[in-house]
């Protein structure tokens, strides 16, 4: 039931129909009741339903616009019509005058403002007022509320002849667009718009040849039920479904530049079983986290979704939080990689992944790298990704930008910069001041003086600082022995490492581990 002015669009151009529907979306006065790609399907529907305004393309295959207008006038003489064309053509213009067309729209001149001007003019000319109507036998009815997509609701609408659908010979499908959202874009709006565009493509492909209904879920997936009530051949049904899926994937990629993940069910005799199978396949869409998108799977081989909560191991979280506190981009990125590797290995459910993302963004806030608004925005952005690899890539880019955003220091000479670069790349090896001088192309005495003058530190102090930084990152992980840590950070012996560590940190390595890991 609706009390808006009802509009029907007939145009074989999918883009034109979508533009008009987008222009009228959420309009307080006008509503698109149905749209068709050919005149014959539109005529059959118009014979059973009353609408206010017909927007009709003039050039269409099988039945052109003028012929459709003549046939519509025979049984619906009061309907107001607006002709649509890609070009000015006197023959069509004259025909429109003869058929009493209310106005004329050129596609190249079609804007929201122009469309509303024409509709308002037609409404005023014919004194059209919003009226409460019940549409009958709607083909391809869309349930925009998942709560209404139930067997009881669907059967009631069939009994009232509101939808053209049959309750037997049903094949359920779940269609999930593989969304990609750019920075600075409202990802929720993108998902909604993409989902509706895919629905329009589905309607374009199925047309009036099949009876179908579908539902848009809260996750912006499409639950689709196809009815093959007049077919007894299972082979015919499955071939038809496979052909539809192939065409849908190709068309969506060509028009929207996105891929689809599609779950195909087995034919069901009863509506409740078909709906249950569709919802089971939708739950399996969560496995896109690890399996990725652009897939076609059957209900018989439905991927299993883990419901077991997964918590991050203390050593992984300690390594990440310590690196963020130290503004250490290199070790923070390494720790993030280990966290995502763990989540992948455990096949963590979406709830557990989101909990980890919330904890990570909270750490950036705690270390004053983000304010509250920035923290919440980063989490919302990360939580919208459906594929874990995309989430990891985006988070690493964000972390690198945040940890590299410190105020710039005084510039160093090329000699000292090259020496520091050499140390950071080779600190795990047995290197000396002479090795660095050779790399920088100067004498070791010149490098020693320059290093002290520009950094305020002796070369050996800087070398030990880099090695200690690496050692602390390894200690936090708690998965290596002390001997392995000494070997991997370039210290000559454990005694020397112990001495340097205590002088620098004021505690032993073991005390450092106990202190920092107890916080996490």
Q: How confident is the model at residue 93 (pLDDT cuts 50, 70, 90)?
A: low
Give the pLDDT score at 86.
73
Please, which residues have CB within 8 angstroms of residue 503's CB and are 6 or more apart in sequence?
none
| Tokens (6 digits) for 165 | 């659908």
**260, 249 Cβ separation under 8 angstroms:** yes
pTM here is 0.71
| Tokens (6 digits) for 428 | 């795990």
Residue 158 DSSP SS3:
helix
Per-residue pLDDT reduced to its tens digit, 253-304: 988 889 999 999 999 989 999 999 999 999 999 889 999 899 999 988 888 7
Burial of 142 (0-12, 13-18, 19+ CB in 10 A): middle
**31, 144 Cβ separation under 8 angstroms:** no
Q: Decide which of 1.10.10.60, 1.10.240.10, 3.30.300.250, 1.20.120.1200 is the CATH code for 414-517.
A: 1.10.10.60
Give the pLDDT score at 410.
65
DSSP one-letter string for 8-51: EEE-S-HHHHHHHHHHHTT-SSEEEEEEESSHHHHHHHHTT---
Could you name the CATH architecture of 141-301?
2-Layer Sandwich (3.30)
Q: Decide which of 3.40.50.280, 3.40.50.1000, 3.40.50.2300, 3.90.1170.40 is the CATH code for 5-125.
A: 3.40.50.2300
Per-residue pLDDT reduced to its tens digit, 438-478: 998 889 899 899 988 888 889 888 998 888 888 888 887 76
Per-residue pLDDT reduced to its tens digit, 352-396: 999 999 999 999 999 999 999 989 988 988 888 888 998 998 899
Give the pLDDT score at 179.
78
Q: How confident is the model at residue 495 (pLDDT cuts 50, 70, 90)?
A: confident
Per-residue pLDDT reduced to its tens digit, 174-209: 999 997 766 666 777 778 888 888 988 998 888 777
């Amino acid at each position: 039931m609706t009390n808006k002015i009802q509009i029907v669009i007939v145009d074989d151009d999918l883009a034109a129909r979508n533009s008009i529907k987008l222009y009228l979306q959420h309009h307080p006065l006008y509503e698109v009741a149905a749209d068709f790609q050919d005149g014959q399907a539109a005529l059959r529907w118009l014979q059973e339903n009353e609408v206010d305004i017909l927007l009709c393309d003039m050039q269409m295959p099988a039945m052109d616009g003028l012929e459709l207008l003549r046939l519509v006038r025979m049984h619906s003489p009061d309907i107001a019509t607006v002709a649509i064309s890609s070009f000015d053509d006197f023959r069509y213009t004259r025909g429109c005058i003869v058929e009493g067309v209310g106005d004329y729209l050129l596609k190249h001149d079609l804007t929201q403002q122009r469309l509303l001007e024409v509709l308002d003019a037609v409404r005023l000319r014919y004194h059209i007022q919003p009226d409460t109507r019940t549409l009958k036998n709607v083909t391809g009815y869309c349930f925009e509320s998942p709560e209404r997509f139930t067997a009881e609701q669907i059967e009631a609408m069939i009994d009232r002849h509101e939808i053209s659908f049959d309750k037997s010979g049903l094949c359920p499908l779940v269609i999930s667009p593989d969304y990609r959202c750019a920075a600075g874009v409202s990802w929720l709006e993108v998902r909604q718009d993409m989902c509706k565009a895919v629905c329009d493509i589905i309607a374009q492909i199925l047309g009036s040849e099949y009876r179908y209904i579908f539902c848009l879920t809260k996750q912006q997936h499409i639950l689709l039920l196809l009815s093959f009530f007049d077919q007894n051949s299972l082979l015919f049904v499955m071939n038809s479904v496979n052909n539809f899926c192939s065409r849908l994937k190709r068309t969506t990629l060509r028009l929207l530049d996105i891929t689809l993940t599609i779950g195909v069910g087995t034919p069901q005799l009863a509506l409740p079983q078909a709906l249950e199978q569709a919802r089971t396949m939708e739950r399996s869409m969560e496995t896109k986290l690890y399996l990725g998108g652009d897939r076609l799977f059957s209900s018989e081989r439905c991927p299993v979704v883990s419901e077991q909560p997964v918590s991050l191991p203390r050593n992984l979280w300690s390594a990440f939080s310590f690196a963020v506190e130290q503004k250490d981009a290199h070790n923070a990125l390494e720790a993030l990689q280990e966290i995502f590797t763990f989540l992948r290995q455990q096949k963590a459910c979406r709830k557990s992944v989101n909990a980890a993302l919330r904890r990570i963004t909270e750490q950036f806030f705690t270390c004053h790298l983000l304010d509250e608004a920035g923290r919440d925005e980063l989490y919302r952005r990360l939580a919208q990704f459906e594929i874990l690899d995309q989430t990891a890539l985006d988070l690493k880019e964000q972390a690198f930008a945040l940890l590299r955003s410190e105020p710039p220091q005084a510039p160093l000479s090329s000699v000292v910069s090259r020496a520091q670069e050499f140390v950071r790349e080779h600190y795990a090896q047995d290197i000396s001041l002479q090795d660095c001088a050779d790399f920088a192309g100067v004498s070791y005495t010149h490098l020693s003086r320059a290093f002290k003058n520009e950094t305020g530190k002796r070369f050996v102090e800087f070398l030990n600082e880099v090695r200690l930084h690496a050692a602390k990152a390894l200690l936090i992980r708690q998965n290596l022995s002390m001997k392995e840590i000494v070997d991997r950070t370039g210290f000559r012996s454990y005694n020397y490492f112990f001495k340097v560590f205590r002088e620098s940190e004021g505690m032993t390595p073991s005390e450092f581990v106990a202190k920092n890991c107890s916080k996490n």
